[in-house]
Structure 1
Amino acid sequence: MKEASNLSNRSIGRSRPYHSTLRQKQAAATRELILQALTQQLAEEGLQDFSIADAAQRAGVATRTIYRYFPNREVLLDAVGEWVDQQLGDLPYPTTPMEVADLAEQAFPQFEQQAVLVQALLASELGKSVRSRLRSKRRQSVETALSSLAGDLDSAKAVRAVIGHLVTAETWKHLRDEFGVSGDASAKAVAWAIRTLIADLEHRH
């Protein structure tokens, strides 16, 4: 009897890692469903803010489940921002001026593929909150990458600001909506413009 009990305990001990891994996978899947539901809200025309109750219904979970994964708005927005970044292909953070041009070539086609989501990020209140988190990190990396160009000359500062503006979702959207330029075409044009500006600043310096 004692031997059977020991065998049973050993069996339970061996099963724990499996159950632990299963719970982790289930938790990751639930988290993904919640983030997808919130992002669907972003993509809806006219959406101005998110609804926890609506997200719970979409994801097929209880409202309290969302709060268990995301206890407050800040944690939730950060998570949505990271998830959106993944949907856009985990775009790199440039470290050199020429990598800023490369970023435009990579980003604009991704914006085109996720056009509904990106336009929602630009238009909705939730989108603006999420985007401000993503943008602050990337803008800082762009500014750092361009900081070596032509020192502190006022003209150089203005050009660096122009380059920083060119490599944004707003530029992609403006070229798309106002001029009908595709993501691939605008990526090439903006990358060319950035490289031309960089070359001119380096020549003058």
Structure 2
Amino acid sequence: MSGSAGSTRKYSSPLREQQALETRERILRATLDLLNINPFGDISMDDVAKSAGVERRTVFRHFATKEALFDAFWIFINEGMNARTLPSTLDELVHAPIETFQQFDKNQGVIRASIHTPAGYAMRMRTITARRKAFKECFRAADMEPASENGKRAEALFHLLYSAGAWEILKDYAGLTGQEAGEVASWAMQVILKATKPDAGSNLFNGE
């Protein structure tokens, strides 16, 4: 007989673990659905449970508090978005708004919540270091030094143009679709790049 008489063996079932992961994701996706319907509403744990098709206690088994649920939710959303939105080349960065803004159209409630709610702001701030690093590497790879004055200005404007805020303003103020907004942002980036090249015929930043 192995082991001491008082010892207990922990049993881990791969099937049970998989089911738990699937339930957790169902809860997070239910939160996504609710935010898309009402981005600024007061979503309760009961609402989430009903939308996910699980018992209220199941939601609390995975997330002890509403704050814990939303922390996990924004990480879940951020991971999914970053897989598509962080560019690796300057060309990818310039054209990224076209596809990404169309994706924003499909999840308007969540995107607006990410702009206007404290939890959404906190989520965006978690991504800022990786985003800045990706942008700088894109500029360096294209032989455009981000530390130069024009490089800093161009990079700053790219952050503005490739953002949920730009998508929202172009939709709400200019009446554009996500695709149209993305095309406008991409075009503006190309204008900025042309203006910042040393051999460009004019320099928009100097008003020439």
Fold match by TM threshold 0.5 = yes
Structure 1 residue 127 displacement after superposition = 2.4
Q: Which of 30, 48, 53 in structure 2 is aligned with 1:55?
A: 48
Aligned to 2:98: 105
Aligned to 2:26: 33
Distance 1:45 1:151, change over 3 A: closer
Unpaired stretches in structure 1, ≥5 consecutive residues? 1-15
Aligned to 1:155: 150
Structure 1 residue 73 displacement after superposition = 7.8
Q: Find the residue that maps to 1:203 and give its secondary structure.
A: coil
Matches within 5 A, 1:69-84: 69-70=62-63, 76-77=69-70, 79-84=72-77
Instruction: Measure the CA separation in 1 of the matches of 2:108 and 2:115.
Output: 11
Matches within 5 A, 1:178-193: 178-193=173-188
Unpaired stretches in structure 2, ≥5 consecutive residues? 1-10, 201-208
Distance 1:151 1:114, change over 3 A: closer
TM-score by length of 1: 0.72
Aligned to 2:206: none
Structure 1 residue 46 displacement after superposition = 2.8
Which piece of structure 1 moves more, 130-139 or 67-76? 67-76
Instruction: Measure the CA separation in 1 of the matches of 2:56 and 2:123.
Output: 23
Aligned to 1:11: none
Structure 1 residue 173 displacement after superposition = 0.5
TM-score by length of 2: 0.71
CA contact (8 A) 1:150 1:156 kept: yes
Cα deviation per residue 1:82-113 (whole Å; 9 max; x = unaligned)?
43246658314212222211221221111112
Which piece of structure 1 moves more, 180-189 or 113-122? 113-122
Q: How many matched pairs?
A: 186
Q: Find the residue that maps to 2:84 and give its secondary structure.
A: coil
Structure 1 residue 123 displacement after superposition = 2.1
The structure richer in helix per residue is: 1
Cα deviation per residue 1:9-50 (whole Å; 9 max; x = unaligned)?
xxxxxxx9xx934313311221012212333443314336x6
Tell whether 2:196 aligns with 1:196.
no
Instruction: Measure the CA separation in 2 of the matches of 1:120 and 1:79.
Output: 15
Q: Which of 126, 138, 147 in structure 2 is aligned with 1:133?
A: 126
Q: Find the residue that maps to 2:20 and give its secondary structure.
A: helix
Instruction: Measure the CA separation in 2 of the matches of 1:45 and 1:74.
Output: 16
RMSD: 3.2
Aligned to 1:118: 111
Select the structure with the greater relative contact order (CA < 8 A; seq sep ≥ 6). 1
Q: Find the residue that maps to 1:91 and give its secondary structure.
A: helix
Instruction: Measure the CA separation in 2 of the matches of 1:150 and 1:202.
Output: 11
Instruction: Measure the CA separation in 2 of the matches of 1:54 and 1:28.
Output: 20
